[in-house]
Amino acid sequence: MQKTIKLTISVFIFFILLVFYLSLNKVSNYDTENLVGNKLNQIKLESLEGINYITNKNLKKNSYTLINFWASWCAPCRVEHPFLMELSEIKNLKILGVNFKDKKDNALNFLDSLGNPYHYLAKDIKGKQSVNFGIYGIPESILIDKDFIVIKKFVGPLNFEDLNEIKKIVSSL
Amino acid sequence: MRTKIIFTFLLINFYSYVASNETINENKIYKNLRCLVCQGQSISDSNSDFAVTLKLVVNDLIEKGKSEEEIYNFLSDKYGDWILYKPKFNLENLALWFLPYFVLFLGGLIILYIIRKKVKKT
Amino acid sequence: MLSNIGNILLLSNVLIGALIIYYSFNCLKTSNNLVFKNIYQLSLIQSTLILSCFFTLVAAFLVSDFSLINVYQNSHSLKPVFYKISGTWGNHEGSLLLWVIILTVFSFLFLVLNKNHPKNYRLHTLIIQNLLILGFLFFILFNSNPFSIINPVPKEGLGLNPILQDPALAIHPPLLYVGFVGSSIYFSAAMASMVSNYNDRSFAKSIKGWVLISWVFQTLGIMVGSIWAYYELGWGGFWFWDPVENASLLPWFAMTALLHSLLVLEKRNALYFWTIILCLLTFTLSVTGTFLVRSGILNSVHTFANDPSRGIYILVFLSIMIITSVYFLFTRYKPETNHISGNSKETFVLINNWFMMFYLITVLLGTLYPIFTDVLFKSKISVGPPFYNSVIAPVVVFFLVFMAIGPQTKWIKNKFTNLKQLSIILGGALLTNFTIIFLFKSYSVISNLIIISSLFLIFSSFMDLFKKTKLNFARIISHLSFGFLIFFIGLNHNFTIEKDFNLKLGEEKVIDNYKFVLNDLELINQINYKAIIGKLRVKNMNTNEERTLKPEIRIYDNPQTLTYEASIKTNFFKDHYLTMSNIDRSEYYNVKFQEKPLMIWIWISVVMLSLGGFVSLFKNAKNN
């Protein structure tokens, strides 16, 4: 009896110390990796012009869609813009831009001066739609395939590596 | 007589509880949602862009008649369980929820054991 | 220059630590009960040197010697003198130096103040304590040296995080460290007691004072931290169940349990091994907490700049500590021969320990669980206030009741003769609770139970004051103020009024019976920050009470940081708490107003609680 108790305690202590050790090499920050593999079923976004809605139907025929959340007031969005411009020329990929908590005029000015990489333009004035996409700060981008399955999430501005990764995924079709 | 008085007061005390309302409380929900862009704050304590948006969404969901449970499920679908300050009851969190009470139970047993030993010997 | 002095002092401390251990072993071989004179001398020199080492660092901060990385990273020449000094221990490296000071000074004092205890026990304690000191000195020297230099020497420092530039936060770490680093001395004493077979009630006497000191300081330290969080973080809460807060609470639970079990060991010579376990557990939890906080594996409000190499060092240290103490426990364990009767004070002390262990396990589990799920299942979860409240609150009810009944019992064998009195007290508690509900508003079942049980404890402790027998003031004060603490927290929780709204300059807003007007926004320039001060007029239309609150939005220069300063108006009945923050891309300000009843009484209760400890400490010192 005493032996079992001693053994249990020893194993327990060893277990805790091991977990501590393993956790040292972990990043304790939050990420939304769990969203990868989920299906985005109910996409319904008002277009930037405000005349119609962009839904799953519009995106069905695309092999890949990149949903990008941006705003004219967001500085990092300017940083990633050239990469989006480059992505917009890829054949297999369409880009849906969601203008986030922004004014329409400012948004259009932004696109006028920097170029428009978006095949679809939607708006999310109060930011409520972004919650459906698991967005918690912009810029964020979500890559989905033709079945609306999330393949990859990019938090923060897209960079050169992200660009190459997207190209690789899209061309592997 | 005294027990009767105490019993009456007990009844009154609990009656008062029943009288308190049972409606859904948005503040309670806010306090259970973690502000993902902040350091260890609930969205109730923050007015970052994210917290403001999330409060709007929660209000919408309440208006739609969703229950607290449904709101949590919706948000943890989108953001993962990280967003909930009160972890769900599930297999993964079994130890978290039951171990404290197991320890409480075990401790009670140990105390009983210590006390009993005396009775046997004398 | 200062860097060299500091390093030399650190190295000589290592040397002296080693010498003390060497002489202690020599002294153990002698047959008389005398401790070598040079051990006393070395121990005194050791304390002096480590203090000089610390003052060297303080001096570096005072003269803003930016050739030291530590000063460069945590100070700024324009900072007020007070915060230059407190900056010394406001960072990882400097605070470790404070650690070693407490380890060393306690080591010396324990040696000097326990002359009537056997030599073997004292020397073993000294050896183990010095091993701990060496462990931390090596950590400082090899990993976290506050005297490391930087080349070329920067012209200006980076400054201290403005939310840390605060009087409460300046005294918070020293208080807390005396608490949980102070527990090292009874860790060492417990090990020594097992090694030297010094295991009767006189062992309890030798550590009682130390346990009390650490408990009092830990209590005050936690409170000061909590007060700081209350007015500085701007959320109006005072306890967030944040991992760092939990790390300070864990040793507190162990200390509180120890404080009680020590009574049984002292009076009845029972529960020896359990007391030893608690001694070891307290300091082990302190080091575990340090590991969790400093390694950065937990996500917390109070993040120290983190670095995995620190983590690995503390983890190795912690592992050695745990493995050795468990080894000694397993090899020295003997079943108790003293028995405890079901209805006796001993049993109630055990009940206290039982609940303390429950709280401890709950908080420990809640703090560590996210790490476990991340490592084992790769899933990230959060454990926050709703978890702790819902698990702990129901149990507190029973705890308070036992806490009221326990002290009424007698040692060895008790008989309840005062059932009549207890039922009157219970009736009083129920009546008071009902009056509160009747006059104000009702609250949930659990809140009802907590308020009733806390009132039960308050009344019964209060009745004890009028007993004819000899009074145990320390216990009555502590138990009474703990009852008050829970009572006030309960009321505060249930009667807090919160209003959250947006307002622009000149606008008026009416919510329920409150009227708010943002009268003015003033821009001011201070030495190290700029601030926007809002003048908000708040009127309670039911009572016609009116007051102006002045929340601030501060922009600090070094380093550039935005902080929101709450405006708090305190009186004996309630606090008015208001924070204002700017909303991006808008002329509106978000205003958060809270009316928090009886806030000041929560702090007063905690001060009273620790006062109980002081009284007991005083009595203990007088008896010895």
Q: Label each residue of C3-35 as H, E or C.
A: HHHHHHHHHHHHHHHHHHHHHHHHHHHCCCCCC
Closest residue in chain C to residue A25, using alpha carbons only: C308
Within this chain, do residues C86 and C125 fall inside the same structural domain, yes or no?
A: yes
Tell me whether residues C301 and B118 touch, CB distance under 8 A. no
- 3-class secondary structure for chain A? CHHHHHHHHHHHHHHHHHHHHHHHCCCCCCCCHHHCCCECCCCEEEECCCCCEEEHHHHCCCCEEEEEEECCCCHHHHHHHHHHHHHCCCCCEEEEEEEECCCHHHHHHHHHHHCCCCCEEEEECCCHHHHHCCCCCCCEEEEEECCCEEEEEEECCCCHHHHHHHHHHHHCC
Distance from CA of A171 to the nearest CA of C (A): 30
Among C318, C361, C380, C382, the residue to mutate for chain A (most A Cβ within 10 A): C380
Within this chain, do residues C26 and C50 fall inside the same structural domain, yes or no?
A: yes
Omega before C559 within 30 of 0, i.e. cis:
yes
- The partner residue sitting opposite A19, judged by closest CB among C319, C326, C371, is C371
Q: In the CATH hierarchy, which fold is given to the domain comprising A39-171?
A: Glutaredoxin (3.40.30)
Contact A61/A90 with Cβ under 8 angstroms? Answer: no
Tell me whether residues C235 and B118 touch, CB distance under 8 A. no
- What distances in angstroms separate CA A58 from CA A53, A65, C439, one per listed residue? 9, 11, 61
What's the CA gap between C200 and C13, in Å, rounded? 34
For tokens 């300059």, name the residue: C505
For tokens 């009076």, name the residue: C267
Residue B95, C-beta contacts closer than 8 angstroms, at least 6 positions apart: C365, C369
What's the CA gap between C264 and C270, in Å, rounded? 6
pLDDT at C26: 93
Within this chain, do residues C481 and C457 fall inside the same structural domain, yes or no?
A: yes
Q: Using a CB-CB distance cutoff of 8 angstroms, which residues of chain B are in contact with residue C553?
A: none
Distance from CA of B79 to the nearest CA of A (A): 5
Secondary-structure breakdown of chain C: helix, strand, coil percentages, each rounded to the nearest 5: 65, 10, 25
- What b/e readout covers C430-453, taking b as 16+ CB neighbours within 10 angstroms? bbbbbebbeeeebbeebbbbbbbb
Tell me whether residues C385 and B31 touch, CB distance under 8 A. yes
Tell me whether residues C330 and A22 touch, CB distance under 8 A. no
Tell me whether residues C358 and B40 touch, CB distance under 8 A. no
Beta partners for residue C518, in sequence order: C536
Helix and strand numbers (H, E) in chain B are 5, 0
pLDDT at C561: 78
Contact C107/C185 with Cβ under 8 angstroms? Answer: yes
Within this chain, do residues C478 and C587 fall inside the same structural domain, yes or no?
A: no
Within this chain, do residues C476 and C560 fall inside the same structural domain, yes or no?
A: no
The encoded tokens of residue C505 equal: 């300059």
Residue C248, C-beta contacts closer than 8 angstroms, at least 6 positions apart: C176, C179, C180, C218, C221, C222, C225, C289
Residue C203, C-beta contacts closer than 8 angstroms, at least 6 positions apart: C121, C189, C193, C265, C272
Closest residue in chain B to residue C386, using alpha carbons only: B86
pLDDT at C412: 77
pLDDT at C306: 57
Tell me the residues of chain B between 31 and 60 that have a Cβ less than 8 Å away from chain C: 31-32, 34, 39-42, 45, 47, 49, 52
The answer to whether residue A29 neighbours chain C at the CB level (below 8 Å) is yes
Distance from CA of C39 to the nearest CA of A (A): 36
Omega before C370 within 30 of 0, i.e. cis:
no
Spans of chain C, pLDDT less than 70: 299-307, 338, 558
Q: Is residue C537 part of a domain?
A: yes
Q: Which residue has the higher pLDDT, C165 or A5?
A: A5
Tell me whether residues C318 and A17 touch, CB distance under 8 A. yes
- What distances in angstroms separate CA C230 from CA A76, A141, C380, one per listed residue? 34, 38, 28
Across the range B87-110, mean pLDDT stands at 93
Contact A97/A110 with Cβ under 8 angstroms? Answer: no
Which chains form contacts with chain B, at 3 or more CB pairs under 8 Å?
Answer: A, C
Q: Is residue C453 part of a domain?
A: yes
Q: In what helix (H) or strand (E) does residue C211 lie, and over which residues does it extend?
A: helix C201-232
Among C288, C297, C361, the residue to mutate for chain A (most A Cβ within 10 A): C297
Contact C64/C78 with Cβ under 8 angstroms? Answer: no
User: A130, A74, A75: which is closest to A98 by C-alpha?
Assistant: A130
Tell me whether residues A28 and C296 touch, CB distance under 8 A. yes
What's the CA gap between B36 and B46, in Å, rounded? 10
Tell me whether residues C322 and A17 touch, CB distance under 8 A. yes
Return the number of other C-beta atoms located less than 10 Å from residue C572's C-beta.
9
- DSSP-assigned letter for residue B44: G
Within this chain, do residues C10 and C150 fall inside the same structural domain, yes or no?
A: yes
What's the CA gap between C624 and C622, in Å, rounded? 6
pLDDT at B122: 45
Within this chain, do residues C461 and C586 fall inside the same structural domain, yes or no?
A: no
User: C162, C34, C41: which is closest to C90 by C-alpha?
Assistant: C162
Within this chain, do residues C3 and C54 fall inside the same structural domain, yes or no?
A: yes
Within this chain, do residues C22 and C153 fall inside the same structural domain, yes or no?
A: yes
- The partner residue sitting opposite C384, judged by closest CB among B27, B34, B115, is B34
Closest residue in chain A to residue C309, using alpha carbons only: A24
User: What is the tens place of the pLDDT at every residue in A61-116?
Assistant: 888 999 999 999 888 999 999 999 999 888 889 999 999 988 889 999 999 999 99
Tell me whether residues A133 and B36 touch, CB distance under 8 A. no
What's the CA gap between A114 and C138, in Å, rounded? 57
The answer to whether residue B49 neighbours chain A at the CB level (below 8 Å) is yes
What's the CA gap between C371 and C300, in Å, rounded? 13
Contact C353/C253 with Cβ under 8 angstroms? Answer: no
Q: Is residue C121 part of a domain?
A: yes
What's the CA gap between C285 and C214, in Å, rounded? 14
Q: Using a CB-CB distance cutoff of 8 angstroms, which residues of chain C are in contact with residue A9?
A: 326
Residue C515 phi, psi dihedral angles, 5° rounding = -120, 130
Tell me the residues of chain A between 118 and 157 that have a Cβ less than 8 Å away from chain C: none
What's the CA gap between B110 and C350, in Å, rounded? 10
User: C93, C94, C99, C119: which is closest to C34 by C-alpha?
Assistant: C119
Provide, rounded to the nearest whole percent, the portion of chain A with pLDDT above 90.
Answer: 35
Tell me whether residues C375 and A26 touch, CB distance under 8 A. yes
Q: In what helix (H) or strand (E) does residue C113 lie, and over which residues does it extend?
A: helix C92-113
What's the CA gap between C88 and A91, in Å, rounded? 60
Distance from CA of B100 to the nearest CA of C (A): 5
A155 pLDDT higher than 90: no
What single letter denotes the amino acid at residue C594? Q
The encoded tokens of residue A72 equal: 């004219």
Contact C157/C75 with Cβ under 8 angstroms? Answer: yes
Which chains form contacts with chain C, at 3 or more CB pairs under 8 Å?
Answer: A, B
Tell me whether residues A23 and C375 touch, CB distance under 8 A. yes
Closest residue in chain C to residue A73, using alpha carbons only: C585
Contact C184/C103 with Cβ under 8 angstroms? Answer: yes
Name the residues of A annotated as catalytic.
74, 77
What's the CA gap between B24 and B15, in Å, rounded? 20
Tell me whether residues C369 and B40 touch, CB distance under 8 A. no
Tell me whether residues B114 and C340 touch, CB distance under 8 A. yes
The answer to whether residue C365 neighbours chain A at the CB level (below 8 Å) is no
Q: Using a CB-CB distance cutoff of 8 angstroms, which residues of chain B are in contact with residue A132?
A: 78
Q: Is residue C556 part of a domain?
A: yes
Q: Is residue C271 part of a domain?
A: no
What's the CA gap between A162 and A153, in Å, rounded? 10
pLDDT at C340: 74
Q: Which residue has the higher pLDDT, C340 or A125?
A: A125
Tell me the residues of chain C between 181 and 210 that have a Cβ less than 8 Å away from chain A: none
The encoded tokens of residue C298 equal: 């937990």
pLDDT at B17: 55
User: Is residue A99 classed exposed, middle or buried when 0-12, 13-18 and 19+ CB atoms within 10 A define those classes?
Assistant: buried
User: C438, C434, C461, C462: which is closest to C448 by C-alpha?
Assistant: C434
What's the CA gap between A115 and A118, in Å, rounded? 9
The encoded tokens of residue A24 equal: 């040292």
Q: Using a CB-CB distance cutoff of 8 angstroms, which residues of chain C are in contact with residue A23?
A: 297, 371, 374-375
Q: Where in the sequence is the domain holding C124, given as residue range(s)?
A: 1-161
| ipTM of the prediction greater than 0.90, yes or no | no
B21 pLDDT higher than 60: no
Give the number of beta-carbon pairs within 8 Å between B and C.
146
Within this chain, do residues C46 and C123 fall inside the same structural domain, yes or no?
A: yes
User: What is the tens place of the pLDDT at every residue in B34-56?
Assistant: 988 877 788 888 878 888 889 98
What's the CA gap between C620 and A41, in Å, rounded? 71
Q: Using a CB-CB distance cutoff of 8 angstroms, which residues of chain C are in contact with residue B107?
A: 354, 357-358
Q: Using a CB-CB distance cutoff of 8 angstroms, which residues of chain C are in contact with residue B40?
A: 240, 242-243, 299-301
Count of structural domains, chain C: 3
The answer to whether residue C295 neighbours chain A at the CB level (below 8 Å) is yes
Distance from CA of C174 to the nearest CA of B (A): 24
The answer to whether residue C297 neighbours chain A at the CB level (below 8 Å) is yes
Q: Using a CB-CB distance cutoff of 8 angstroms, which residues of chain A are in contact with residue C321?
A: none
Furthest-apart CA atoms within chain A: distance in Å: 79
Tell me whether residues B37 and A32 touch, CB distance under 8 A. no
Q: Using a CB-CB distance cutoff of 8 angstroms, which residues of chain A are in contact with residue B82?
A: 30
The answer to whether residue C115 neighbours chain A at the CB level (below 8 Å) is no
Tell me whether residues B36 and A134 touch, CB distance under 8 A. no
Domain boundaries along the sequence of chain A = 39-171
What's the CA gap between B44 and B32, in Å, rounded? 8
Within this chain, do residues C476 and C545 fall inside the same structural domain, yes or no?
A: no
- The partner residue sitting opposite B79, judged by closest CB among A101, A128, A136, is A136
What single letter denotes the amino acid at residue C191? M
Within this chain, do residues C41 and C143 fall inside the same structural domain, yes or no?
A: yes
